[in-house]
Structure 1
Amino acid sequence: MTGLTHEERDLLAPVERAPVLERTLDWAAVNSGTANLDGLATMADKLASAFSALPGEVRLVEPGKVEKVDGEGKPRALPHGRHLVVSVRPEAARRVILTGHMDTVYASDHPFQTCDWLDENTLHGPGTADMKGGLSLMLEGLLAYERGAPTLGYDVMINADEETGSLSSNALIAQLAKGKLAALTYEPALPDGSMARARPGSGNYAVVIRGKSAHAGRNPQDGRNALVAASDLALRLAALVRDGLTVNPARIEGGAPNNTVPDLAILHFNMRPRTPELAESAQRLVDAAFAEVAREHEVTVHAHGGVSRPPKPISTETEALYGLVSKAAGDLGQAMRWNDTGGVCDGNNIAACGVPVLDTMGALGGAIHSPDEFLLADSLDARARLTALVLHRLDRHGLALQD
């Protein structure tokens, strides 16, 4: 580990893998799928207990209200778990935010529930990389940073709904991100150490189309077929795909018996614009498609949802943060590469607040969102050291890149 000062070496020396791994295994044993409110409550209690080792206030924040369109086309309240917030030195002139999520994509009845070792360094298990390991190493890095006479203030925000778009925590993220010097988010990096740069935006929509029922044989001309209108809309949306914009019609609900003209259909689709400008123009095109389908099919079209993850371009301040982290990783002997990605995360929402963010500070791993998910155990203590060193250098030098 070349390039480290004596102070930095002393700061990082106590970091060990064993406690980070122990917590990761304990937390991965808890099923905390986004809809598993009991599992999320258990996970929140474990996190609150563990993060109470930091010199700050720990609190659990109630989720914001979220609605989801049901099979009848009606919006219904959707319950969520509480979010964890830890505030350390709130009076500090310079503050940062560190974020992660306690939820996973694995439902309470999913068969993938336990961990096992594929080899001495590869831990296979649900949520190990995404992101129980990331939460554990974040805490270890913060504990190490606190041993070095810190002056930087920070908030830790661990939400319970990142995997479904952070709809109940978006307002909390924006509130905590405001005015921060920088942000670190603990999504997993790739096994080779690759980190995410720019990300597109993402929006999920449920479009409720209501027509008019009629007998399919006696008077079909009196009906207005909502299913046909939804299919036409799906084709129009798919035709909007271009460089920098993807639109994915994913599912149509509704229909009626074969002898009835269906009067209800619900089209679900996802849209991912690469830039803020594309997000605005794409929304205009989507709205135009809604209006055209409503007019031509004589149906009503009501859309729920929108772009909840704004595009994350790279600012000058973000480049400075990437440079600082790259140098810190190099001084620690850690490989680091940078790639634009098609995925989205809470880093998108933080960047939209004007805060430079690096959102793949978590464990190295792969096959996330699948029963093959794994993490590399040797990245746990390595990334904990990186967290501590980055915070220490932000404390001492701000975003100025050291030679």
Structure 2
Amino acid sequence: MNEFLQAREEEMLGLLEQLVNIDSGSRNKQGIDQIGEILKEEYIALGFDVQTIEEEIQGNHLVIRHPDAKEPEILIVAHMDTVFRDGTAAVRPFSIVDGVAHGPGVVDMKASLVSLLFAVKALSDSGRPGIENIEILLTSDEEIGSITARPLIEAHTEGKKAALIMEPARKDGSLVSGRKGGGDYAIRVHGVAAHSGIEPEKGRSAVEELAHKIIKLHALTDPEEGITVNVGIIEGGDATNVVTPEAVAWVDIRTTKLSQADLLDRKIREICAVPDVEGTTITVEGSIDRPPMERTEGTARLVELIKGIGKDIGIDVTDTKTGGGGDASYTSAAGVPTIDGLGPVGGNAHRDDEYMEVATFVPRCRLLAETIAKLSE
């Protein structure tokens, strides 16, 4: 497989350039579907069946499996959307400078889409087991929380013994064996307006009430337990001489264990149930709806297997945990041993200087192909 892939590096880079130069932000259905059609044709040419899951607003999803696949045991998930605005590809198209590829979504995760395709091609060419043991989901809205993809992913976890998630490897090349879960809340405070100079006693400050709540919410952060509570945005008030009648805070919650969610949600609601400023009222919207990817025994065994494969082919494989969420959380929460970060090495995702290390493109593709083959023996 190594010779097969080495001989196709330029072809891989050519397809990567084509994909990067298509705007495919999460709200750009046309761009995402264009990406999907390119990949669909590639898999059909390999003899795979491709089912298009039509979405009215978001991009379509693709479900890909070999016609001879009976009960595939490996689920592979990759997303086709990026975070970038329309027009970014024209302003900052694909380029390679000193062995580093640049462009919107180059590593998160268009390089992974190419790597996955060519891993399947390598397996097909080699005759080794694997292509009849995989089910591939190419999704369209991971960057906005997998709004439509999550039910699809969860439905396809049934009967799977391993899930391989194609986010990029970390900057140091590490795979991802754990991710935080979490959710978002909006804390809305309703007070009473009044002139702050003439009759302030008639007012009830929503800003003051919100300040009390922010301090209490931040106090829920517990670094030892891996819990973070962050009020990231606050809004309220129109003029300095008015006691503010309305204020809102948007809160980001992160957890490391599924068991933490209910208790943390209850504490948030208890804090907001009783006002500190008399005469104000509070409403709470939101929930902790993203499960964490926990490092289970099954995941640990999967990590060790991939480390062994890496050693055999000359790649030093390490693993790490990350605070960011992702689709790996849904497969992990369903009880499927999951490993993430199986794409090429790169960094600065979601930024103008996002990059992918070209030298890792073929080796990481081979690592993926060898992992599929090993899991299918």
Tell whether the structures are fold-level matches, with TM greater than 0.5. Answer: yes
Residue 21 of structure 2: aligned partner: 29
Q: Deviations over 1:15-74 (max 9, x none)?
A: 23122211111101112122333322322332323333343332332459xxxxxxxxxx
Percent identity over paired residues: 30
Counting only pairs closer than 5 Å after superposition, residues 3-402 of structure 1 correspond to structure 2 as 11-15=1-5, 16-63=8-55, 79-89=57-67, 92-110=70-88, 113-119=92-98, 121-147=99-125, 148=127, 150=129, 152-217=132-197, 219-243=199-223, 244-293=226-275, 298-304=280-286, 306-396=287-377
Asked if structure 1 preserves the Cα contact closer than 8 Å seen for 2:153 and 2:330, the reply is yes
Asked if structure 2 preserves the Cα contact closer than 8 Å seen for 1:32 and 1:108, the reply is yes
Aligned to 1:41, the other structure's residue is in SS state: helix
Aligned to 1:276, the other structure's residue is in SS state: coil
Cα 1:89/1:96, change in 2 over 3 Å: farther
Q: How many residues align?
A: 370
Asked if structure 2 preserves the Cα contact closer than 8 Å seen for 1:142 and 1:387, the reply is no
**Distance (whole Å) between structure 1 residues aligned to residue 3 and residue 188 of structure 2:** 58
**Distance (whole Å) between structure 2 residues aligned to residue 294 and residue 316 of structure 1:** 45
Cα 1:219/1:87, change in 2 over 3 Å: farther
**Distance (whole Å) between structure 1 residues aligned to residue 360 and residue 93 of structure 2:** 20
Identify which range, 107-116 or 375-384, moves more after superposition: 107-116
Asked if structure 1 preserves the Cα contact closer than 8 Å seen for 2:293 and 2:329, the reply is yes
Asked if structure 2 preserves the Cα contact closer than 8 Å seen for 1:12 and 1:389, the reply is no
Cα 1:260/1:54, change in 2 over 3 Å: farther
Q: Deviations over 1:334-392 (max 9, x none)?
A: 12112222222111111001001111100111121211111011222212211221111
**Distance (whole Å) between structure 1 residues aligned to residue 273 and residue 67 of structure 2:** 51
Deviation at 1:190, TM superposition (A): 2.5
Q: Deviations over 1:229-260 (max 9, x none)?
A: 33332222112111211111111234334454
TM (norm. structure 2) is 0.89
Asked if structure 1 preserves the Cα contact closer than 8 Å seen for 2:179 and 2:292, the reply is yes
Identify which range, 306-315 or 131-140, moves more after superposition: 306-315
**Distance (whole Å) between structure 1 residues aligned to residue 285 and residue 105 of structure 2:** 33
Asked if structure 1 preserves the Cα contact closer than 8 Å seen for 2:306 and 2:317, the reply is no
Q: Deviations over 1:96-155 (max 9, x none)?
A: 111111111212255863122220x21122111111001100111112223326464322
Q: What amino acid is aligned across from residue 113 of structure 1 in structure 2? A: R
Structure 1 alignment gaps of length 5 or more: 1-10, 65-78, 397-403
Asked if structure 2 preserves the Cα contact closer than 8 Å seen for 1:252 and 1:265, the reply is yes
**Distance (whole Å) between structure 2 residues aligned to residue 231 and residue 124 of structure 1:** 43
Structure 2 alignment gaps of length 5 or more: none
Q: What amino acid is aligned across from residue 212 of structure 2 in structure 1? A: D
